[in-house]
Structure 1
């Protein structure tokens, strides 16, 4: 079994033959507005779901799967979690409305230092795993199921800027995902506190044919100071009843992955295996030795090429389009003629975006001038 886990991360749940079905909706207690993508589930059981974009949900399970001491938990970023003993739910009621109270806004700890801090751009995690193995969701995985890996880093204050991973197969028209970044639970080493304090989920709609996935994390203001866990959470599948999302994975010395089958269910640890997640990050350090050596900088500059091009929509130049180099954590804007200039190297990941238009993401195979034609979502 250990050999299997080193090569294949299998995330399978057998279909539930439901005898109990509860529908409902989740609302903001202050405004009455629906709350999307709320985790609803029986704590530590493989029974759970996620509300849709309108706050509606359907929770199904067999009566014999739960006991009188089991608890239903409703939680969402930016809100106080609610727990309700299952024994207090009226079984004759089939539709429930839950109201969540907004969580009080906490102030992050501020560290004052007189030391000069250096910014070091680093990509951490697991790259180049194509062909080493696969990790996948299969069959009727419950909504809210997660699959993640521990990212090991040197200690120090670090901002997480972007997540990269490859997709081997996706039979669905689209899959709605949420990225969760967890700090380690000190007592158990399992995923603990969610590092996202922005109150908004990091969502990504994975479309069929999307092979290289780049997810901008900067708006969430994610900060870590030690190892952390990156997890993908399943929020919705569209265009097919079959879930078969496959991602690169592989064995790694000291690697750890984690999975849970549904919202609020118990985490399981998978030793020695990791998903092919990598993170572009900025390390803040007062140690100048952490800066790239001069010869490395010279080599990087030698491999750089200045390129230029234009960004259009429907044949018209786009002013203030953003051309971002995720690999370097740098960005430039196009001018009033839609023209941009930037420096790139082979292997850099570029994105071109403009409000209301579909973002283009490319991995540079050969540095040259590029023109981009953006389309509507």
Structure 2
């Protein structure tokens, strides 16, 4: 399966396939609920990390997941912002009962008062001006497929004002995208830890333009202060049209430059990968970048 991007023909792309085998696949369904209230939780990630197989619940907490009997001994990871993630045997899903997630208990921390003058300058972090001949698409039509770019936080702390996604072409039915900001590990690789404290959703609409999520409307809920580099990504969580979504008709801006590395994953809870590139001209350390960016004050 080729990596879903466009570039001048002198470049070619090599992708190590992460897609699971789907022979003899069947569908299993269920509901993810708040274990304290028994209310459904929307847009929960459900997946088999070792298989690269997963999905996202709908607004009523319902999911459908393809599987085959070879997965019976596997573990399933279920996670959502604001709840304790769970690893459980795949047999628990086969049993058909609701799966409960416990609300996350956030310990009280010391309050650090930061002078207003600290956040005095507005800056852009990430790629906000894509190249004319470069664009990217998601690699899979599965709910939970994700694409992102590393963001270097130059001045720390930086208070995030808004999140931006540059759409270069949109010819698909409306899609709902979740914007995720992930913590990096000691080696600079994306982890499963999300830095945003709630779901931030964007809906594709115009044929092209910039999709923006403003985090200043509710500072209590959305105050995001970055003190480290991170991964800024978008995840497919809903399609409003009939049948499976066609992400090949949705293109994001991009560039080949010296900024953040591009990452992707095929399915919810799957492993992150990055494309490799062969070229007949020297790359001189340049990497693939996607036109996702943050507006911050530092």
Q: TM-score, normalised by structure 1?
A: 0.65
Partner of 2:209: 211
* Change in 2 beyond 3 A, CA 1:193/1:53: same
* Change in 2 beyond 3 A, CA 1:163/1:18: farther
Q: Is the 8 A contact 1:22 1:96 kept in 2?
A: no
Q: Displacement, 1:249? A: 1.2
* Change in 2 beyond 3 A, CA 1:133/1:236: same
Q: Is the 8 A contact 1:6 1:273 kept in 2?
A: no
Alignment of 1:50-69 (within 5 A): 50-64=56-70, 66=71, 68=73
Partner of 2:25: 19
Partner of 1:354: none
Q: Displacement, 1:15? A: 9.0
- CA distance in structure 1 between the aligned counterparts of 2:169 and 2:5, rounded to whole angstroms: 20
> Mind listing any 5+ residue stretches in structure 1 that lack a counterpart?
284-377
What is the CA deviation profile of residues 305-332 of structure 1, one whole-angstrom value per residue up to 9, with x for unaligned ones? xxxxxxxxxxxxxxxxxxxxxxxxxxxx
The answer as to 2:281 corresponding to 1:277 is no
Partner of 1:127: 128
Q: CA RMSD in A?
A: 3.0
Partner of 1:257: 262
Task: Give aligned pairs, total.
Answer: 273
SS of the aligned residue for 1:214 comes to strand
What is the CA deviation profile of residues 175-206 of structure 1, one whole-angstrom value per residue up to 9, with x for unaligned ones? 01100011211245324521113xx2011122
* Change in 2 beyond 3 A, CA 1:54/1:118: closer
Q: Displacement, 1:270? A: 3.8
> Mind listing any 5+ residue stretches in structure 2 that lack a counterpart?
277-286
Q: Displacement, 1:61? A: 2.3
- CA distance in structure 2 between the aligned counterparts of 1:113 and 1:204, rounded to whole angstroms: 31
Q: Displacement, 1:252? A: 1.6
Alignment of 1:1-377 (within 5 A): 7=7, 16-17=22-23, 19-64=25-70, 66=71, 68=73, 70-86=74-90, 88-89=91-92, 91=94, 93=95, 95-111=96-112, 117=118, 119-137=120-138, 140-187=140-187, 189-197=189-197, 200-209=198-207, 211-218=209-216, 219=218, 220-239=222-241, 241=244, 242-244=246-248, 245-253=250-258, 255-270=260-275, 272-283=287-298
Q: Displacement, 1:67? A: 6.7
Q: Which has the higher strand share?
A: 1
Q: TM-score, normalised by structure 2?
A: 0.81
Q: Is the 8 A contact 2:138 2:146 kept in 1?
A: no
Pick the structure with greater CA Rg: 1
